[in-house]
Amino acid sequence: DTAVSQTPKYLVTQMGNDKSIKCEQNLGHDTMYWYKQDSKKFLKIMFSYNNKELIINETVPNRFSPKSPDKAHLNLHINSLELGDSAVYFCASSPFSGAGGTGELFFGEGSRLTVL
């Protein structure tokens, strides 16, 4: 069983469209994350949820909206897609979070978004 699974793995869409990426973890972790890896391979945190509550919200356009229906799922919805949104988006989970830091992170395989 895959620990952290993301769907879809590849997504090609037109500018202006709205799309979602889903993430599920079966590790029983409390905390989930979304990261963006740009064309230069630089990884940057976007959001973090702990037990369905938003705890980290980096400077991300409000076209990006995470949703956590339960602590095993964290979905990412993107409105009005732009060319610059093209990247690989990684979901991750860890055992605990908060001001004290994180436990070991487990990453999904990534979702490659291409905006044309």
Partner 1 sequence: KQEVTQIPAALSVPEGENLVLNCSFTDSAIYNLQWFRQDPGKGLTSLLLIQSSQREQTSGRLNASLDKSSGRSTLYIAASQPGDSATYLCAVGSRLTFGEGTQLTVNP
Residue 28 — left, alpha, or beta (φ > 0 → left; ψ -120 to 50 → alpha)?
Answer: left
* Strand pairing category for 4-7 and 19-25: antiparallel
Measured from the CB atom, is 14 or 59 closer to partner 1?
59
Among 19, 110, 113, 116, binds partner 1 (CB under 8 A): 110
Q: Cβ of residue 73: shortest distance to partner 1, in angstroms?
A: 17
> For the window 81-100, what string marks contact with partner 1 as x by the rule CB under 8 A?
---------x-x----xxxx
State how far Cα 49 lies from the chain centre: 10
How far apart are alpha carbons 101 and 115 in whole angstroms?
34
**43 binds partner 1, rule: CB under 8 A:** yes
Point out which residues bind partner 1 (CB under 8 A). Answer: 4, 33, 40-45, 56, 58, 90, 92, 97-110
